């Protein structure tokens, strides 16, 4: 059996960390602080941001695999990132209410000078949310730091009617896509 690669997560996301830990993947964390692209075609933006993060975390001459991920919410061609304040969170959730949006995650794996990218898509249908429900959710504060202003793995689940695709993608790390790109992550050292 081959030894699993030395994985570096180019993110401080507690959700991504928790998913990798749950899978039993050995990794280290090397968060990056890059200026993310915020405008453009949503799928391209997600992939480009993932690449920017991975490249910023890469160390030359290191025998490691660097994982960069960027997750965003798109409704039609409009990107909904992390709302900066309660007003923006309320506006975002109101826009998503009763609609089906797409959660897109760009995934970039860098191994030496080789760069591999992929895109994961999950469709999320929101319930028709009343102003009171949105106000209640915004008051919870759970929207902070969340693409689209909600956390499906938390009380934000009350906003969602159904999903089509990888649940973990909505949380922040598309497991199926990552394992398609690097199946050896689940292998144990010989």
pLDDT in tens, 111-131: 988 999 999 999 999 999 999
Note whether 31 and 12 are within 8 A (CB): yes
Is pLDDT above 90 for 98?
yes
**Alpha-carbon gap, residue 163 to 175, rounded angstroms:** 16
* Mean pLDDT, range 34-48, rounded to an integer: 93
Backbone angles phi, psi at 56, to 5 degrees: -65, -30
* Mean pLDDT, range 16-34, rounded to an integer: 92
Is pLDDT above 50 for 81?
yes
**Alpha-carbon gap, residue 9 to 17, rounded angstroms:** 8
Is pLDDT above 60 for 50?
yes
User: For residue 18, what pLDDT is reported?
Assistant: 94
Note whether 146 and 82 are within 8 A (CB): yes
Domains defined for the chain, CATH in brackets: 7-186 (3.90.950.10)
* Mean pLDDT, range 25-49, rounded to an integer: 92
Q: Which residue has the higher pLDDT, 9 or 63?
A: 9
Q: How confident is the model at residue 190 (pLDDT cuts 50, 70, 90)?
A: very low
Hey, which residues are catalytic here?
70
188's tokens:
């144990």
| Averaged pLDDT score across all residues of the chain | 92
* Mean pLDDT, range 40-69, rounded to an integer: 92
Is pLDDT above 90 for 106?
yes
The strand ranges marked E within the chain are 7-9, 27-29, 65-75, 78-80, 100-111, 114-126, 160-164
Q: How confident is the model at residue 70 (pLDDT cuts 50, 70, 90)?
A: very high
State how far Cα 71 lies from the chain centre. Answer: 3
Is pLDDT above 50 for 67?
yes
């Amino acid at each position: 059996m081959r030894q699993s690669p030395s994985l570096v997560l180019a993110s401080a996301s507690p959700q991504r960390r928790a998913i990798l830990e749950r899978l039993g993947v050995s990794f280290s964390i090397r968060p990056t602080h890059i200026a993310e692209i915020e405008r453009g075609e949503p799928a391209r933006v997600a992939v480009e941001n993932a690449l920017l993060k991975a490249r910023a975390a890469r160390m030359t001459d290191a025998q490691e695999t660097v994982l960069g991920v960027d997750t965003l919410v798109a409704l039609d061609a409009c990107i909904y990132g992390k709302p900066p304040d309660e007003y923006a969170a309320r506006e975002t959730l109101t826009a998503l209410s009763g609609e089906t949006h797409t959660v897109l995650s760009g995934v970039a794996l860098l191994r030496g000078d080789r760069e591999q990218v992929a895109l994961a898509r999950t469709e999320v249908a929101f319930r028709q949310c009343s102003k009171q429900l949105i106000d209640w959710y915004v008051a919870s504060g759970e929207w902070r730091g969340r693409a689209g202003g909600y956390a499906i793995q938390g009380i934000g689940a009350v906003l969602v009617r159904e999903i089509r695709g990888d649940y973990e993608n909505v949380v922040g790390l598309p497991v199926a896509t990552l394992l398609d790109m690097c199946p050896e992550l689940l292998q144990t050292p010989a």
